[in-house]
Amino acid sequence: MSRTLRTVCLAALTLSATASAQEPVLTLEEAVARALEKNFAVEIQRYTTETAVAAVEIADANFDPSFFVSATKSVNQQAQPSSTLDGVSQEGPRSENTTIRAGARQRIITGADIELGANLNRRETNSTFSLLNPAYASDFSLTVSQPLLAGFGSEVNRAALKRARLGLERAGLDFESALLDIVRNVETAYYNLAFAREQLAVREFSLAVAQGLLEENQTRLETGVATDLDVLQAQVGVANANRGVLLAQQTVKDREDALKNLITQFELDRPIGDIVLQPVTTPNVSFAESYNLARNNRPDYASAVLAVEQYRIDERTATNGRRPSLNLDAGVGLNSNEGSASDSTSNLWDGEGYSWQLGLSLNVPWGFKEEKARLAQARAVLSREEVRLRQLEQNIMVDVRAAIRSVQTSAESFQISQLATKLSQDQYNLEKARFDAGLSTFRRVQESQEDLDTARVNEIQAAVNLRIALAELSRLEGSSLDRFGITLEAEE
């Protein structure tokens, strides 16, 4: 597909214009769709693409024809003559000239400037010696100015247009790269919000458990089974659990704002709704496959390749500029001089009056100092960008290796955290049963509860880390857009 102006097309992700202000559930797909519609970075990149489209039009307009028309009138009144031989009255020689000129110019891809023009001139004088008064002169001419060395050829003359078209390709790729970043950022913010809310739920559950234990210890104190120290420890446990809830609520609000900042514009007070996470599965990842996808699909790499091609065009243009300036100028024309405008224009084509010219002009700068410097500069820039491209290739390899390790490590951590949660749950149940039977202390129950809370939070965090690692790998592979049904179509 031609990479020109790009527009985002969502498959089955279009938001209803009449959607309510508060969605009961915000799916990840809906969050991505909102980001593509509202995100500032996406909007800015669209304008950048429009600028690239205009640059192509500007470069292409260099070969469009231009039309011109002009009309001038001049009057020349001289002083009173000193001799009657001038053939004029005592008021002095007087002449009036009116000229109308029209034609068209165009540059062609060889570098030649072609002009086609016609003139009609009316001259009237008070001299009695003039055979035609007024006299009408008309002419029709074709002139060509063709560079033969510097500036010759389609390659150098179409360089600006080709460079602009490559710039449009790059703008499309940069737009795609921005979309990949936005999708990854939305996924990360969505998962972090899910973690914050799950963590809040754990903290609220812990607070409920701590309050239950406090009430139980207060009852046991009344019956003489527990001590004042047990009640105090339970009160401290409630206070700590309440502090955990407050901190978790703050984290939720921060995560909500982070997500809203990506998917809305100045709608920070709009409720987000519930977050739904699909079950995460342990993927099978391969460095060779992911690296191949990254090389073939990553838009920033393709954009860097096009940037090198742009600088190659600059280098070839600078090479052409080191040639001397040698121009061939040629022109042919017809002319007629009659007593009326109609006779002058109709007799123009009989071929009796004609003209032609042919010339060469050579300009050789002393030492080509500027031209040599421009060529050296262009070659240095080209070499720099080629090095950057190789650096990007290595960075892609390093990034993919790191992403693969992150996925594998996160998957292992998630499995371990699931086992740790199960173990902590069993230990808490056992310790609580021993405490109810009078075989354990409240302190040990409190510690086992804290261990269970930590294990639950760690499991949630491990699941989120795995999802974020997969989102980053998808961005590197350039497959995030396909996962969410986002297509980029060229706009004619």
Specify burial of residue 68 (Cβ count, 10 A radius: 0-12, 13-18, 19+).
exposed
| Amino acid occupying residue 341 | A
CA 483 to chain centre: 21
Backbone angles phi, psi at 398, to 5 degrees: -65, -45
Strands 113-125 and 135-147: antiparallel
Strands 135-147 and 325-338: antiparallel
- Please state the pTM of the whole predicted model: 0.76
- pLDDT, residue 12, reads 31
Angle between helices 287-297 and 442-477 (to 10 degrees): 50
Q: Quick check: helix, strand or coil at residue 306?
A: helix
Q: What are the chain's domains?
A: 6-13+23-59+160-311+377-490 (1.20.1600.10), 112-150+325-363 (2.20.200.10)
CA 294 to chain centre: 19
Query: If residue 202 lies in a helix (H) or strand (E), which one and from where to where?
Result: helix 159-222
- pLDDT, residue 94, reads 79
| Amino acid occupying residue 117 | G
- The DSSP 8-state label assigned to residue 3 in this structure reads -
d(CA 168, CA 176): 12
| Amino acid occupying residue 310 | Q
- pLDDT, residue 489, reads 64
Query: If residue 130 lies in a helix (H) or strand (E), which one and from where to where?
Result: none
Average confidence (pLDDT) per 10 residues, the chain, 492 residues: 39 35 74 88 87 90 91 84 56 83 92 92 75 82 92 89 91 90 92 89 84 81 77 85 91 92 86 81 82 88 93 92 91 85 80 87 90 92 94 92 92 90 89 81 77 86 90 89 78 46
- pLDDT, residue 348, reads 79
Q: Give the pair of three-digit tokens for residue 121.
A: 């001139």
Q: What string of DSSP letters covers 397-459? A: HHHHHHHHHHHHHHHHHHHHHHHHHHHHHHHHHHHHHHHHTTSS-HHHHHHHHHHHHHHHHHH
Contact 137, 336 (CB under 8 A): yes
Q: Quick check: helix, strand or coil at residue 97?
A: strand
Peptide bond into 134 cis (omega under 30): yes
List the end-to-end C-alpha distance of the chain, in Å, as a whole number.
Answer: 12
Contact 117, 99 (CB under 8 A): no
What is the phi-psi region of residue 273: left when phi exceeds 0, alpha when psi lies from -120 to 50, beta otherwise?
left
- pLDDT, residue 328, reads 92
d(CA 27, CA 138): 77
What does R_g of the chain's alpha carbons equal in angstroms?
A: 41
Lookup result for tokens 């009430």: 215
- pLDDT, residue 87, reads 52
Q: Quick check: helix, strand or coil at residue 276?
A: coil
- pLDDT, residue 17, reads 33
d(CA 90, CA 124): 17
Alpha-carbon distances of 158 from 43, 109, 164, 254, 313, rounded to whole Å: 31, 7, 10, 53, 10
- pLDDT, residue 22, reads 46
> Which candidate, 329, 328, 330, 332, places its Cα nearest to that of 140?
332
